Amino acid sequence: MLDVHGLQQRSALLQAVRSFFRERGCLEVDTPIRLPVLLPEVNILPFASDGWFLQPSPELCMKRLLARGCTDIFQICHCFRREERGRLHQPEFTMLEWYRTGWDYTDLMQECEELVNVLAAAVPDLPGVPPGPAIRRGGCLVDLAPPWERLTVAEAFRRYAGVEARDTLAAGDFDEVLVTLVEPHLGCERPVFLSDYPVELGSLARKSAADPGVAERFELYIAGIEIANGFSELVDPAEQRHRFSGEITAIRARGDTAAMPERFLADLERLEPTAGIALGLDRLCMLLLGRATLSDALPFSCEEL
């Protein structure tokens, strides 16, 4: 829960985000948060809402707007994911999501560097921002001066866990190795873009031209905390339908329902090459405001309602 001063700082950050994108010619959109069908993703559990769903992400509607001719759009919205609660998770959270037509994932990494630097400087006396520019969290003093580190998943797994990422995927413990051995090292001295995930872990991301085993997907880490997930969007409807089929099979095996998002796939036909990114705005607020947990960076956490 934020006090009045914290709420003022959070508000100033939201305003700074809007200014950043408006100055760059991006259109702010506000798409519906209650949807009849979702993008099927096996590891995201949606909340049901009277036969429809609360959005776990604004990706579906935002890409449909791109298909309608929008080129550069951004949105600040609430998203909902069941059974996510912890120091860094809330079942309802604020997402900043944006899309850039004609860009790829490396262009988005650079824009991320610029955005975070602008936000850290936009509001005076942020508790988590010592002069630098930098972010301080626990024992980490994270230097924000670009360029930030670029590290592939394969390199990170070798460096910090001494294993091949592919092998952990086959053994079913990719996530455990990532969380326990790799993540704590990521972004402690400067932020890091962890990139080129196994293609199985990016069902909406484009395969790399250089290596079809990996997707052009990255996660931004600051002080060991995952802040944003971006990728070069998969814009091939046939390939996308094939990948969704796999997700739907896995969701049904779990006993839940999932349907093919047909209007989305029809619209995907008209999508230009695009890069998109979702950034956890509450987490970034938490870092900039120097708060310990996500709950501390919100007007209310779900535990306080």
Partner 1 sequence: MYTASDLRKGLKIQIDGEPYIVTEFDFSKPGKGQALYRTKMRNMITGVQFTQTYRSNDKFDRPNLEERTMQFLYAQDNEYHFMDTSSFEQIFLTREQLGDNLSFLIDNMEVQVLFFGDRPIDITIPTFVNLEVTVADPWAKGDTSGSDTKPVTVQTGFTLQVPPFVEVGDRIQIDTRTGSYITRVKE
Chain contacts with partner 1 (rule: CB under 8 A): 41, 43, 83-89, 174-176, 178-180, 183, 197, 201-203, 219, 226, 229
Count of beta carbons in the 10 Å neighbourhood of residue 266: 12
**Is 41 or 97 the residue whose CB approaches partner 1 more closely?**
41
Amino acid of residue 63:
K
**What does DSSP assign to residue 205?**
B
Residues 231 and 103: beta-carbon distance below 8 Å:
no
Of the pair 164, 200, the CB lying nearest partner 1 is at 200
> What's the CA gap between 130 and 290, in Å, rounded?
10
- Looking up tokens 């944003």 gives 228
Minimum Å distance from CB 26 to partner 1? 23
Q: C-beta of 144: minimal distance to partner 1 in Å? A: 21
Which CB sits closer to partner 1, 15 or 43?
Answer: 43
Q: How far is the CB of 113 from partner 1 (least distance, A)?
A: 19
Give me the least distance between CB of 217 and partner 1, in Å please. Answer: 8
**80 versus 129: smaller Cβ distance to partner 1:** 80
Per the rule left: phi > 0, alpha: psi between -120 and 50, beta: everything else, 136 is: beta
Residue with tokens 């814009």: 235
Distance CA 39, CA 258 (A): 9
Tell me whether residue 6 or residue 261 sits nearer to partner 1 (CB atom).
261
Closer of 30 and 149 to partner 1 (Cβ): 149
- Do 17 and 37 touch, CB atoms closer than 8 A? no
Q: How far is the CB of 84 from partner 1 (least distance, A)?
A: 6
Question: Do residues 74 and 96 touch, judged by C-beta distance below 8 A?
Answer: yes
Is the CB of 88 or the CB of 134 nearer to partner 1?
A: 88
| Cα-to-chain-centroid distance, residue 107 | 15
Q: In a 10 Å sphere around its CB, with 0-12 CB exposed, 13-18 middle and 19+ buried, how is residue 45 labelled?
A: middle
Amino acid at the residue 274: T
Closest distance of CB 178 from partner 1, Å: 5
Q: Which is nearer to partner 1, 120 or 225 (CB)?
A: 225
Cβ at position 201, least distance to partner 1 in Å: 5
Residue 265 bridge partners (DSSP): none
- How many CA atoms are closer than 13 Å to the CA of 192, on its beta-carbon side? 19
**CB burial readout 222-243, b (16+ within 10 A) else e:** bbbbbbbbbbbbbbebeebeeb
CB of 284 to partner 1, least distance (A): 15
